[in-house]
Amino acid sequence: MDILVCVKQVPSVSEGRLDRKTGTLLRADLPAVLNPYDGRALEMALRLRDQVGGTVRVLTMGPPSAVAVLREAVAMGADSAVLVSDAGFAGADAMATAYTLSQAIRTLPQPQLIVCGRQSTDGDTGQVSGALAAFLNLPFASGVDTVTPAEGDELLLEQRMGRIRVTARYPLPCVISAENETVVPRIPSLRLRLSAAKAQVTQRKLEDFQDTDPSRYGTAGSATRVVRTYRPPETVGKAILSESEVTGQALLDLILGKEALPNV
Amino acid sequence: MSELHITVFAELEGSALAAVSCQLLDQAFLLAQGRQAQVTALVLGKPSEATRAALCRWPLERIVHYSVDGPFRSDLFCRLFLAGIRRLSPDIALIGSTPQGRVLASHTAAMLRTGVTADCTELSLTEEGRLLQCRPAFGGNLMAQILTKTSPQLAIVRPGALTPPNAATGGCPIWETPEADLSASAITVTQVTAATASSALSDAQAIIAVGRGFRKKEDLEQVRELADLLGASLACSRAVVEMGWLSPEHQIGLSGQSVAPQWLLTLGISGSIQFRSGIRGVKRLIAVNQNPDAPILQIADVPICGDVYRIVPALLEAARN
């Protein structure tokens, strides 16, 4: 099975700063890592490939430095990597990002399965994967916890859907969003890390796409924009108790409501 | 200024109206106040008579209904939802942040080449009648206000604290059932079961939530024991799910569960806006954090600056007796 995994490079800590004027994220001052949700999506793809054979290709849209997460993915075992990068892609919202990814994917041999992470730790809208499926005219499955090959070119999926768990058969090709939080992604071996450092990375730019209209991409192609950021009003809290003031039985009574709450 | 048209996705849970749909309907009419506006609803599925009656509580202009049978299948439901939105052609569409809602929204936004804002916690209108969508801006303590320049403006809205239902208004809206193929789907659902952890959380009356203040997964066992002794459900912040210590159903926050227990004890959770948006319904919040500047200590009813590695054993000892 030929599987494609979309990954994103994100700042290593979920707390970052916004450029006050443009409302876009200031990524430069934080170290960058593979989005943890995408790491698990990649692990899902790798396990499926290990089970049924085939290839895993990873693809990312980002600045040139994003090649680092592609190398990390190859070190984990991905077979090939694609960097989708162009100055014109910067500042894209979720829909513009999905459209860019879809155009890049259309320039590659069609995968049977596309796997995405549930959301990113920075933008965290969780909207890219569903939109990507729509742009590629493929069925979409969200919240996928487990994937099993099924007869007749189908996949058996277990999905987390809030209060319920769904088991369903999906036709291939399709797009899935992974929600396999209990899975631990494999740690790259040194050997794979060394070969990943030298691996070929395929590049895709705007000029490679079928739709080369720059107004469909990046900031220009984004229907949504941040117009203002603000701090929510400060709340004045109650006096903070120290550990020594209330522990054990006294704290238990406070928790269970057997004692009146301390006054401000 | 032409009439503002807001459509609410009145999502069903089985044959009943989902709680978030009621909140969205209230929200839509609040936005419509003082303006020339109409509010409509879009329904997919088989509403019961009680649900039909419930929808009379709001003075909706009309309801577009696709009477699709069976469980949610994304290809079929997305196609019908898109058809409904195209038929209604609203300026604004409000969708609850549910697994179904999020899938429908992303598909619709892509197909209509319009914008969607996820996890809105506040909505308002500009003078010109454009939707101002507010959501926490990643991680820290900032809120972002977002505008969409295209139509319809799609907003996925988090459920807030529950509001009491309004009295019935007298009339009932017109139900439209357009022609559509209600069965074509390439997806076959073979089983639907309850996800035990998540239903326990949103209904739980007592919760203990753990955060990054713990150093390793094994340390949560003591907390689990404490929760069992106190009859509380175990929950966590997003960081704990990201580290793979607990499954996503345990997560409280913007991309997790909203909870409304009698009491919530947080251990080693700093209290980002994302987390706090999931605890608006909590009656009594007891928070333990080693950092006196942790935001959660500002909003807790009982804020404690201390080490969870001392407090948890002490509580456990008291609870065992």
Q: What is the mean pLDDT of each run of 10 residues along chain B (321 residues)?
A: 90 93 93 94 97 94 96 97 98 95 97 94 92 78 89 90 58 93 96 75 89 94 95 93 87 82 94 84 91 91 93 93 83
- Taking residues A107-136, report their average pLDDT: 91
- Of B195, B299, B317, nearest to A163 by CB-CB distance is B195
Residue B231 C-alpha from the chain's centroid: 25
> Residue B38 pairs with which residues in a beta bridge?
B5
- Which residue has better confidence, A18 or A182? A182
- Structure-block tokens of residue A257: 């409501």
Query: How many degrees, rounded to 5, is the angle at CA B258 between CA B250 and CA A95?
Result: 95
For testing the chain A interface, which of B142, B288, B311 should be mutated: the one with the most A CBs within 10 Å?
A: B142
Query: A 194-233 residues with CB below 8 A of B?
Result: 222-232
Contacts of A93 (CB under 8 A, 6+ apart): A222, A223, A224, A225, B115
Instruction: Return the axis-axis angle of helices A128-135 and A94-106, rounded to nearest 10°.
Output: 40
Tell me the per-residue pLDDT of A34-67, one tens digit each, with 9 for 90 and over: 988 899 999 999 999 999 999 999 999 999 999 9
- Structure-block tokens of residue B53: 């009656």
- Taking residues A217-240, report their average pLDDT: 85
Q: Please report residues of B whose CB lies closer than 8 A to that of A142.
A: 74, 99, 102-103
A91 touches B at CB < 8 Å:
no
**Residue A244: which pLDDT band, with cuts at 50, 70 and 90?**
confident
Decide if B85 contacts B108 (C-beta within 8 A).
Answer: yes
- Give the pLDDT score at A17: 58
Contacts of B13 (CB under 8 A, 6+ apart): none
- Give the pLDDT score at A219: 96
- Given a cut of 50, whether residue A216 has pLDDT beyond it is yes
- Structure-block tokens of residue A47: 């396990």
Q: Please report residues of B whose CB lies closer than 8 A to that of A35.
A: none
A169 touches B at CB < 8 Å:
yes
Q: How far is A24 from chain B (nearest CA, A)?
A: 10
- Give the pLDDT score at A264: 39
Beta strand segments in A88-211, E? 113-117, 140-150, 154-161, 164-171, 174-178, 201-204
Note the ipTM here: 0.88
Question: What is the rounded distance in angstroms from the CA atom of residue A238 to the CA atom of residue A81?
Answer: 53
- Give the pLDDT score at A8: 95
Question: What is the rounded distance in angstroms from the CA atom of residue A182 to the CA atom of residue B23?
Answer: 33
- Give the pLDDT score at B77: 98
- Of B102, B199, B254, nearest to A163 by CB-CB distance is B199
- Of A231, A235, A248, nearest to B317 by CB-CB distance is A248
Question: What is the rounded distance in angstroms from the CA atom of residue B159 to the CA atom of residue B277?
Answer: 9
What burial class does residue A162 get, using C-beta atoms within 10 Å of its C-beta: 0-12 exposed, 13-18 middle, 19+ buried?
middle
- Give the pLDDT score at B243: 86
Question: What is the rounded distance in angstroms from the CA atom of residue B158 to the CA atom of residue B259?
Answer: 12
Contact A256 B230 (CB under 8 A): yes
Residue type, A209: F
For testing the chain B interface, which of A40, A44, A124, A144 should be mutated: the one with the most B CBs within 10 Å?
A: A124
Question: What is the rounded distance in angstroms from the CA atom of residue A49 to the CA atom of residue A56?
Answer: 7
Contact A243 B307 (CB under 8 A): yes
